[in-house]
Amino acid sequence: MPYADSDDGTSVYYERHGSGGPAILLVHGSGGHHAAWWQQVAALRDAFTVLTVDLRGFGRSDSSMAEFDGQDFPGDVVAVLDKEDVRDAMLVGQSIGSVAALRAALARPERVSSVVLGHSLGGIAHPELAELAAADRAEAVKLPVIDRLLTSAFQSARPDLTFLFQQMGTFNVARMADLRNLDTDGPTLADITASGVRVAFLAGEKDAVLSVKTVTRAHELLAGSHLEIVEGAPHSMYWETPQKYNAAIAHLRRTLTAPVQPAA
């Protein structure tokens, strides 16, 4: 089983699937781990090299620490990029995984050409965006957790996949409530632009956690960014509407090319 060592010695589990196509590294959210991407790996591995990772405290990665600091997650992603010597990767984050993905990309722009911020603003430091996201969260917390992540129609139609979705999180030690400092000292719009890394915002029309309005505003503020809105998709688009999600990821991998690096 492949492991990479983060800078602080944490053992990070990851998997590599595919036979050499352009690289896509998937970074899970607070209820996920490497196996949560089963519908993506099976669909994308023939055309792409698909990497999945367990952030510390999740899945098979080291979970022995007493508490989990979100500031450590980017280093887990970087460890995989370095171990596999990946070049021109597209990092795809899901929810909180987008925060780790964006920071990892900024730490290794020579290995990452683009980042997809799925259902997230990636922890970008900007007062207007922080205010918009806080307003979205205030509405989201009024709903049961499962209703924030999957639509009621899907829950009724697919109780089996809804149950499996909930069970996925039971393999993790870390919980959302345990994670500290996720959005502390996030990158600015200028930081992202200077890195040369392309950014795409991937949003679901029915996302109950982060509204299309908020994501659209982030896209407007980040010059050169791409916006992909998927009709009828919830926060956990990768799980509920995998065909649409996979098509969006494949499209972004093929169209987001590495820009010219800025002059020193």
Q: What is the per-residue DSSP string for 214-240?
A: HHHHHHHHSTT-EEEEETT--TTHHHH
| 262 belongs to a structural domain | no
Quickly count helices (H) and strands (E) in the chain.
11, 10
Rounded to whole angstroms, the maximal C-alpha distance in the chain is: 55
Q: What pTM does this model have?
A: 0.95
Q: Work out how many domains the chain is built from and give that number.
A: 1
Strand order in the sheet with 23-27: 3-5, 11-17, 49-53, 23-27, 89-94, 112-118, 198-204, 226-230
Is residue 228 in a domain? yes
Say what the pLDDT of residue 180 is.
Answer: 87
d(CA 54, CA 48): 20
Cα 101 to Cα 120: distance, rounded to the nearest angstrom: 11
* Residues belonging to the chain: 264
pLDDT for 91 equals 98
Question: Residue 126's domain spans which residues?
Answer: 3-255
Q: For residue 241, what pLDDT is reported? A: 98
Lowest mean pLDDT among 17-21, 33-37, 120-124, 147-151: 17-21
172: how many CB neighbours lie within 10 A of its CB?
21
Inside any domain, residue 148: yes
| Cα–Cα distance measured from residue 73 to residue 32, given in angstroms and rounded to the nearest whole number | 14
- Structure confidence by residue, pLDDT tens digits, 214-235: 999 999 999 999 999 999 999 9
What separation, in Å, do the N-terminal and C-terminal C-alpha atoms of the chain show? 40
CATH number where 31 lies? 3.40.50.1820
Residue 263 belongs to a domain: no
- Mean pLDDT value across the chain: 94
- pLDDT, one tens digit per residue, over 109-131 is 999 999 999 999 999 999 999 99
Distance CA 221, CA 219 (A): 5
Asked if residue 76 is part of any domain, the answer here is yes
- Asked whether residue 258 carries a pLDDT value surpassing 70, the answer given is no
Domain assignment of residue 247, yes or no? yes
pLDDT reading at 261 higher than 60:
no
Conformational region of residue 259, where left means phi above 0, alpha means psi within -120 to 50, and beta covers everything else: beta
11-24 average pLDDT score: 94
**Mean of the pLDDT values across residues 76-105?**
97
In-domain check, residue 92: yes
For residue 245, give the nearest of 128, 119, 82 by alpha carbon: 119
Q: Looking at the predicted structure, is the pLDDT value of residue 259 above 60? A: no
Given this model, what pLDDT does residue 260 score? 44
pLDDT(76) > 70: yes
pLDDT mean over 83-92: 96
User: How confident is residue 1, by pLDDT bands cut at 50, 70 and 90?
Assistant: low
The residues near 24 (Cβ < 8 Å, ≥ 6 apart) are 44, 48, 49, 50, 51, 89, 90, 92, 249, 253
Per-residue pLDDT at 246: 98
Q: What is the mean pLDDT of residues 88-114?
A: 97
pLDDT bracket for residue 30 (50, 70, 90): very high
Asked if pLDDT for residue 90 goes beyond 50, the answer is yes
Q: Does 206 fall in a domain?
A: yes
pLDDT at residue 181 tops 70: yes
Give, as one character, the DSSP assignment of residue 71: G
CA dist 225 and 115 (Å) reads: 10
